[in-house]
Amino acid sequence: DRPKKDKKLPVVLSFEEVLQLIQVTKNLKHRAMIALIYATGMRIGELLALELSAIDLKRNSIHIKNAKGRKDRTVPLGKQIRQLLISYGKTYRPQRYLFENDRTHQPYSASSVRQFLKRSCRSAGIEKKVTPHTLRHSYATHLLDNGVDIRYIQEFLGHTKPETTMIY
């Protein structure tokens, strides 16, 4: 028999903490990344692999391809994040990936995202241990708090089993 795995509840930011985090992030690219992770519940790998062709501004959706478990899914894109992405696109003019290194045009690195997220949390006065996945947890928890059915949340997050979504 193997020992049982710890079942710890995920760290979740309040809605106000998420807003504060986005507001104190001065760099437009970094702000767009934080806001997009929170607004869509994407994993960091999905965000960094996101190609421009996957964003459908007419239908206000993002098609996430080859996510965890080699699954595709579509997530809704809110009006406010849509405006932020349009502004970001006009400023940075990405070529293939939505978030790419300005010199090499390769996908942005996950370690860079973690670093600027840590700096932004310090600036916002957030003392919790925040990772990009914390924003995903916060997204799911806030949807649940606002009365969204758990099956929709499961679909948005790309979970196969409802049990995985039940931690929220």
Among 59, 52, 84, which residue's Cα sits nearest to residue 74? 59
Question: Looking at the chain, how many residues does it have?
Answer: 168
Per-residue confidence (pLDDT) for residue 82, from 0 to 100: 94
Provide the sign of the torsion angle of the four alpha carbons 113, 105, 86, 24, taken in this order.
positive
Helix (H) or strand (E) holding 158: none
Q: Out of 68, 71, 96, 151, which one is annotated catalytic?
A: 68
pLDDT at 22: 96
Is 168 annotated in the active site?
Answer: yes
Q: Tell me, what's the pLDDT at 70? A: 79
In the structure encoding, which two tokens stand for residue 124, read together? 């916002």
Check if 30 is active-site.
no
Which of 105, 128, 133, 151 is an active site residue?
A: 133
Tokens of 137: 């947890």
Q: Tell me, what DSSP letter sits at residue 95? A: S
List the 73-76 sheet strands across, edge first: 55-56, 61-64, 73-76
What integer pLDDT is reported at residue 58 of this predicted model?
A: 93
103 catalytic residue (yes or no): no
- 77 Cβ partners below 8 Å, 6+ apart? 39, 40, 55, 56, 57, 60, 61, 62, 85
CA 99, distance to chain mean position in Å, is 13
What's the predicted TM-score (pTM) here? 0.88
The catalytic residue among 136, 137, 139, 142 is 136
Q: Which residues of the chain have pLDDT under 50?
A: none
pLDDT recorded at residue 69? 72
Residue 2 sits at φ, ψ, to 5 deg, of -90, 150
Average pLDDT over the chain, rounded to an integer: 91
Q: Is 161 a catalytic residue?
A: no
Please tell me which residue in 29, 30, 31, 43 is annotated as part of the active site: 43
Q: Which entry of 38, 97, 108, 168 is annotated as an active-site residue?
A: 168
Identify the helix (H) or strand (E) that includes residue 55.
Answer: strand 55-56
Q: Give pLDDT, residue 148.
A: 92
